[in-house]
Chains A and B, each alone.
Chain A
Amino acid sequence: MASFREPPSLLLLLAVFSLALLSVSADSDSQRVSELLALQSRSKSGVIHLDDRSVSRFLTSVKTPRPYWLVVFFDATQLHDKTELHLKTLHSEFALLANSFITNNQDPESPSHGKLFFCDLEFKESQSSFGLFGVNALPHIRLIAPHQNPKESHQMDQGDFSRLAESMSEFIESKTKFVFGPIHRPPMLSSKQLIVIFLAISIWIPFAIKKIVIGETLLHDPKIWLVGSVFVYFFSVSGAMHNIIRKMPMFLADRNDPNRLIFFYQGSGMQLGAEGFAVGSLYTIVGLLLAFMTHVLVKVRNVNVQRVVMIVALFISFWAVKKVVYLDNWKTGYGIHGFWPSSWK
């Protein structure tokens, strides 16, 4: 999580807000709702972009209970490149949520129409609003009930956006009692793309059948199969499945020194991506070299070439085995030892 330093001018800004609050309080509630609806329809994703001014207009300056709920996503463009925060994904999920809610409740008669608005705030533009909500770490999503002031509103826990839009909607449903309806995710392929793919396949099929019948496909080449099976082997022994299932990153940043990267994780229950592939290739290279010596190198006529290649191959293999043994002892902490006769000691 990223942390912010609260701006020093916070108090001053708050004072300005309270002045503004007095001046605009005359506006009626229905005016605000229609304004929000207009803003919402103007935004492509259905998420209303707020800044300090509009926060005061729709939130702080409105007398409670307000006629609507607000869900605020706190964003910071400067942190978009920090992948571990997942700000971009969460923001797009948030937009999806907003879109689904709007399409599910388009009918002005429905009880949820115009009662819940999705907004986002950008840190650089609206630092004081961040302070107002007491937000000092991202990602952060807040749900403000009609009677609440910013500080006491509900905050979404880590667990509530872990399953993205689905869990966010559950959270909002449980707090607001609005019916959310299904989340409309855009399909992976548009219908036009599907038609093109279908056409391409139907054109390709007769050619493929012809080739298969003649026996000329790549599949008839044992070398492809050889490469394929060695790759599957490499893929499996490197624990790539573990990385996929557990969604392991390739490497971690050191907690004490952010510039240093950790590639190897100590402890046998977990591994990092790069670590798995490194050891997987060590596992594979020894076998490949051995096979190279026994099946290819024997056919080479030049004895000196054979000698040099063999020495190099043996050296690499020895080093690879030694490295894996060392890494394994380091990672698991097992002390593998032999059982010698007691008289030898």
Chain B
Amino acid sequence: MAASETSKETILRYAFGNVLSFFILVLIGVLAFSIRLFSVIKYESVIHEFDPYFNYRVTQYLTKNGIYDFWNWFDDRTWYPLGRVIGGTVYPGLTLTAGTIWWLLSSLNIPLSVETVCVFTAPIFSAFASWATYLLTKEVKGAGAGLMAAALLAMVPSYISRSVAGSYDNEAVAIFALIFTFYLYIKTLNTGSLFYATLNAIAYFYMVCSWGGYTFIINLIPMHVLLCIVTVMTSEHFASFLVFIIIHVVALVYYIKGILSPKMFKVAVTFVVSIGVVVCGAVLAVLIALVASSPTKGWSGRSLSLLDPTYASKYIPIIASVSEHQPPTWPSYFMDINVLAFLVPAGIIACFSPLSDASSFVILYIVTSVYFSGVMVRLMLVLAPAACIMSGIALSAAFDVFTRSIKFQLPGATENSERDAGETSSNSVVAQNDVAKTEKNEDAVKERPSKKNRKKEKEKENVEKPSVKSQIKKKLLILPLEASIIAIFLLVLLGAFYVVHCVWAAAEAYSAPSIVLTSHSQDGLHVFDDFREAYAWLSHNTEVDDKVASWWDYGYQTTAMANRTVIVDNNTWNNTHIATVGTAMSSPEKAAWEIFNSLDVKYVLVVFGGLVGYPSDDINKFLWMVRIGGGVFPHIKEPDYLRDGQYRIDSQATPTMLNCLMYKLSYYRFVETDGKAFDRVRRTEIGKKYFKLTHFEEVFTTHHWMVRIYKLKPPKNRIRGRAKKSKSKASSTTGTKRIGTKKKNPWH
């Protein structure tokens, strides 16, 4: 009778634990969503940065024209005159997701704009991602670790940086898809259920639809399968599969033998075998030829730079030019995963004791992702979930040991202290631990009737046995009381530091939309809204079919906000085209005019930060224009722009630099602002202050001079003698050095 009472009590406690963990998960979801709203509160509900504008534009198109038109969309507003097939070249996962949400809401008569839906997609999916983390970690090390990992993931800065409200990019949904796919994979491994395997395939498909990072999964899961086979963890399955296949082959052979005469059978065997050998040989030869014929041996540039980290910096400037492809230094880790960096090794060790299929998978995940993150800072995003899972496991294991030590050694603790402590303690950590045990047993109870398979029964026993054993053992494995109290205190302190850091990172570091900028000075807050000002000017004052040239960074924004045709954009698929624009920007005025004119460009847009001190302007990006341009058109030579190995725009600048289009368009009339032409980004006075433009005219400069728009002057339709005269005049102003080395227009 006492036994029944205790069992009743335990059931009640398990129920209580389940409800509690449900509420904790709800709170984690709220936390994940709300920590990402700083950008909306501090700025406004606006789409951020560059790529999200493209996604936003695609989503708008989808909601307006429907899925079939979206699929067949050929965009003539970009990559003029080539255009771009959007439907076939885009990852549709994000767009379809947001489109579906919008459609669902509007069919429920909730009138939200497409922009609002796009802005809040990322925070919503962050909540989903933290729940997926809970599920994944629960499969590996129980519910306590799961809750801990989910809470950590809800506010890990690395993930926040890509998923604040307004950051409407592929990663927003892809990280959720990634974690969820991993969860379903492990669930499939643990249960062997076909249902989860099917779900896994669907989640995998969604992931592939969403993000180029799916290559990570596509390699990681087979690697894990291979590892499982090699290390003989599931060798029994493997052998059984092999036997299964062999039996069927043998049966087939006997069947055929039965229906054929012995002679015919021999002929058939030789026929099949020889055909098989020939086909295999041919396929192998073709494969080898294909791989050998490509200069990179079949690898793409980005993946090569992962394997040989020095590859990109040597050979592909367009990959090396992107700041998120740089290798991170140690402070990046502290910034992006913060104290998790300390906890991960403990998590790795916890996963090794004991090693199971699930835990070997997360080990493989952390090891590969941490290596890749060391090569490219952008892959820190893939590391973050792994770090959260590992840290969750480590923290959960640590709290488990320390709270147990306290529980058993508290003054007045009896044999039954475990139960008492669990009920009376207000410490949520203890509660979590109980929940962990609860869920494990609950699962076992729930699954019992559904298990008809004997193999599964055996597995379940395997799960249960160690837990019973470990409960007996655990009572002996304790640490000194006072040291455990200190340890718990320090761990809580560490967690508090993590929370402070994450909130700070979300509020201060990662919430700037970069389309609207602010700065604090003595006389208060300044808002720089020059980008939208410029795009609005373009959309109101230019013809619908006018072409606007700018460096590729501003392509997506120009098409989305100004609705004008651009030459290149952030989808850097055509290096030659980008190099053409780079060449134009680094050529002298006349040559640049010819290049732009041949591309039907009417307006040239440059971003200039010299007046307000905005550092990521075109002059700072200029070295990449020269490098990418010079990579395709060899008459652009980087040393011509360098003085002592540096790009300089002051009085030490080279004549080539002072005469190139980018310099002129950036600094035209700049001296009129303060009389000295002092560039606040480069912290120097510019080299050439007074000059006139011969082939371009200024049409618009924004309030803080951050965006300047120039119009190509129409070609002179005068007689030749006159043109010659003006040409000689022009060359006298631009210096004599260039005349001898007249450049050809690379576009022809």
- Could you tell me the distance between the alpha carbons of A298 and B486 in the complex, rounded to whole angstroms? 16
CB distance from A225 to the nearest CB of B (A): 7
A159 interface residue, CB < 8 Å from B? yes
User: Quick check: B341 and A314 within 8 Å, CB to CB?
Assistant: no
Q: Is B385 interfacial (CB 8 A cutoff)? A: no
Contact (A332, B335) CB under 8 Å given A232-B371, A242-B327: yes
Q: Are B479 and A297 in contact (CB under 8 A)?
A: yes
Judge if B504 is at the interface, Cβ distance under 8 Å: yes
How many residues of chain B have a CB within 8 Å of chain A? 63
Residues of chain B lying within 8 A (CB to CB) of residue A269: 329
Contact B374 A240 (CB under 8 A): yes
CB < 8 Å: which of B344, B478, B500 contacts A338? B500
Q: Is the CB of B331 within 8 A of A332?
A: yes
A293 within 8 A of B: yes
The answer to whether B335 and A298 touch across the interface, beta carbons within 8 angstroms, is no
**Interface pairs (7), CB distance under 8 Å:** A229-B367, A230-B345, A238-B330, A271-B329, A294-B398, A314-B483, A314-B490
Stretch at the interface among A12-20, A42-50, A175-183, A275-283: A275-283
In the complex, chain A residues whose CB is within 8 Å of the CB of B232: 215, 220
**Complex contacts, B341 vs chain A, CB 8 Å:** 237, 283
- Considering only residues 603-657 of chain B, those with a C-beta below 8 Å from chain A are 639, 642, 645
Judge if B746 is at the interface, Cβ distance under 8 Å: no
Which single member of B231, B330, B339, B494 contacts A237 (CB below 8 Å)?
B330
Query: Do residues A291 and B501 form an inter-chain contact, with CB atoms below 8 A?
Result: no
CB pair A294–B401 under 8 Å, yes or no, is yes
B639 engages A244 (CB within 8 Å)? no
Docked-complex contact A235 and B374, CB < 8 angstroms: yes
Q: Which of A222, A226, A276, A310 interacts with B487 by CB under 8 Å? A: A310
Asked whether A159 and B330 contact (CB < 8 A) given A229-B363, A287-B345, the answer is no
B interface footprint on A257-280 (CB within 8 Å = 1, 0 otherwise) = 000000000001111000110011
A293 and B487 within 8 A (CB): yes
Q: Contact at A299–B394, with CB atoms within 8 Å?
A: no
| A47 to B363 alpha-carbon distance, docked (Å) | 55
Are B355 and A338 touching (Cβ within 8 A)? Answer: no
Contact status B330-A339, CB under 8 Å: no
Note all chain B residues with C-beta closer than 8 A to A279.
330
Q: Which residues of B contact A290 (CB under 8 A)?
A: 343, 346, 394, 398
| A310 adjacent to B401 (CB under 8 Å) | no
B328 within 8 Å of A by Cβ? yes
Among A67-75, A78-86, A316-324, the stretch in contact with B: A316-324
The reply to whether A225 and B329 contact each other, CB–CB distance below 8 Å, is no
Note all chain A residues with C-beta closer than 8 A to B490.
314, 317-318
Residues of B contacting A336 in the complex (Cβ-Cβ under 8 angstroms): 500-501, 504
Q: Which 5 A-B pairs have the closest CB atoms?
A: A287-B345, A236-B374, A291-B349, A241-B374, A286-B342
CA distance A192 to B468 in the complex (A): 62
Is residue A218 within 8 Å, beta carbon to beta carbon, of the partner chain?
A: no
| Bound-state Cα–Cα, A234 to B352, Å | 17
Among candidates A284, A298, A314, residue contacting B478 with C-beta atoms closer than 8 Å: A298
**B366 contacts A by Cβ under 8 Å:** yes
A197 contacts the other chain (Cβ, under 8 Å)? no
Q: Within 8 Å of chain A (Cβ to Cβ): is B164?
A: no
In Å, the complex CA distance between A158 and B327 comes to 25
Does B332 interact with chain A (Cβ within 8 Å)?
yes
Bitwise, A195-227 to B at CB < 8 A (1) or not (0) is 000000000000000000001000110100110
Complex-state Cα separation, A297 to B486, whole angstroms: 16
**New A-B contacts (16) at CB < 8 Å, excluding given A226-B349, A233-B345, A290-B346:** A235-B374, A240-B374, A268-B331, A271-B329, A283-B333, A284-B345, A286-B345, A290-B394, A291-B394, A310-B483, A311-B486, A317-B342, A321-B339, A324-B334, A339-B503, A339-B507
Q: Does A328 contact B (CB under 8 A)?
A: yes
How far is A220 from B343 in the complex, measured between Cα atoms in Å?
26
User: Is there an interface contact between B639 and A159, defined as CB atoms closer than 8 Å?
Assistant: yes
Main secondary structure of the interface of A (DSSP, over half): helix
Instruction: List, in ascending order, chain B residues with CB within 8 A of A318's CB.
Output: 490
Pair A226/B348 contact, Cβ less than 8 Å: yes
Give complex CA distance A157, B348 in Å.
Answer: 50
Q: Within the assembled complex, what's the spacing in Å between the Cα atoms of A238 and B479?
A: 32
* Chain A proximity mask over B367-391: 1 for CB below 8 Å, otherwise 0: 1001101110000000000000000
Question: Which of A270, A284, A295, A303 has the largest count of B CB atoms less than 10 A from its CB?
Answer: A295
- Chain A residues near B397 (CB, 8 Å)? 294-295
A306 at the interface (CB under 8 A from B): yes
With A293-B398, A314-B486 already in contact, the answer to whether A237 and B331 are too (CB < 8 A) is no
A239 on the interface (CB 8 Å rule)?
yes
- Asked if B106 is at the interface (CB within 8 A of a chain A CB), the reply is no
Q: Do B339 and A230 have beta carbons less than 8 Å apart?
A: no
B367 touches A233 (CB 8 A): yes
Question: How far in angstroms is the closest Cβ of chain A from B104?
Answer: 35
A276 with B329: CB separation less than 8 A: yes
Give complex CA distance A232, B642 in Å: 39
Roughly how many angstroms separate A337 CA and B497 CA in the complex, as a whole number? 10
B111 within 8 A of A: no
Q: Which of B342, B363, B373, B477 has the largest count of A CB atoms less than 10 A from its CB?
A: B342
Please tell me if B222 contacts chain A, counting CB pairs below 8 Å.
no
Majority DSSP secondary structure for residues of B touching A: helix
For B334, B497, B504, the residue with the greatest tally of chain A CB atoms inside 10 Å of its CB is: B334
The answer to whether B347 has its CB under 8 Å from any CB of chain A is yes
Q: Is there contact, CB below 8 Å, between B394 and A287? A: yes
Contact of A337 among B343, B349, B504, B642 (CB under 8 A): B504
Picked from A237, A270, A307, A320, the residue with its CB within 8 Å of the CB of B370 is A237
Contacts of A240 in B (CB 8 A): 374
Q: CB of A24 within 8 A of chain B?
A: no
A310 lies within 8 A of B494 (CB): no
Contact of B309 with A by CB under 8 A? yes
Within 8 A of A (CB), among B463-482: 477-480, 482
Contacts of A228 in B (CB 8 A): 367
Alpha-carbon separation in the docked complex, A184 to B264 (Å)? 61
| Contact assessment for A222 and B370 in the assembled complex, using a CB-CB cutoff below 8 Å | no
In the complex, whether B462 has a CB less than 8 A from a CB of chain A is no
Interface residue? B350 (CB, 8 A):
yes
Shortest CB-to-CB span from B239 to chain A, Å, is: 13
B333's partner among A237, A246, A294, A334 (CB-CB below 8 A) is A237
Are A306's CB and B348's CB within 8 A? no
- Complex contacts, A286 vs chain B, CB 8 Å: 342-343, 345-346
- The answer to whether the Cβ of B353 comes within 8 Å of any Cβ in the partner chain is yes
CB-nearest residue of chain B to A331: B331
* Among B478, B483, B486, B645, contact of A158 (Cβ-Cβ < 8 Å): B645
A245 within 8 A of B: yes
Residues of chain B within 8 A (CB-CB) of A287 are 342-349, 394
The reply on A288 being an interface residue by CB < 8 A is yes
CB distance from B429 to the nearest CB of A (A): 14
Q: From A288, which residue of chain B is reached at the shortest CB distance?
A: B345
A293 interface neighbour in B479, B639, B642, Cβ under 8 Å: B479
Q: Give the chain A neighbours of B503 by CB distance below 8 A.
A: 338-339
Bound-state CA distance A219–B232 (Å) is: 11
When C-beta atoms are compared, the residue in chain B nearest to A324 turns out to be B334
Q: How far is the CA of A239 from the CA of B642 in the complex (A)?
A: 30
Shortest C-beta distance, B572 to chain A (Å), equals: 21
Question: How far does the alpha carbon of A314 sit from the alpha carbon of B367 in the complex, in Å?
Answer: 26
Contacts of B500 in A (CB 8 A): 336-338
Check B483 against A307 for contact (C-beta < 8 Å): yes
Does B313 belong to the interface (CB within 8 Å)? Answer: yes
CA distance A82 to B206 in the complex (A): 57
Q: How far is the CB of A270 from chain B (nearest CB, A)?
A: 7
Q: When A241-B309, A287-B345, A307-B480 are in contact, do A295 and B350 touch as well, CB less than 8 Å?
A: yes
Whether the Cβ atoms of B348 and A230 lie closer than 8 Å is yes
CA distance A310 to B481 in the complex (A): 11
Q: Which residues of B contact A299 (CB under 8 A)?
A: 477
Which residues of A have CB within 8 Å of B497?
Answer: 325
CB distance from A237 to the nearest CB of B (A): 5
Q: Which residue on B lies nearest to A228, using beta carbons?
A: B367
CA distance A279 to B335 in the complex (A): 14
- Name the distance in Å between A9's Cβ and chain B's nearest Cβ: 33
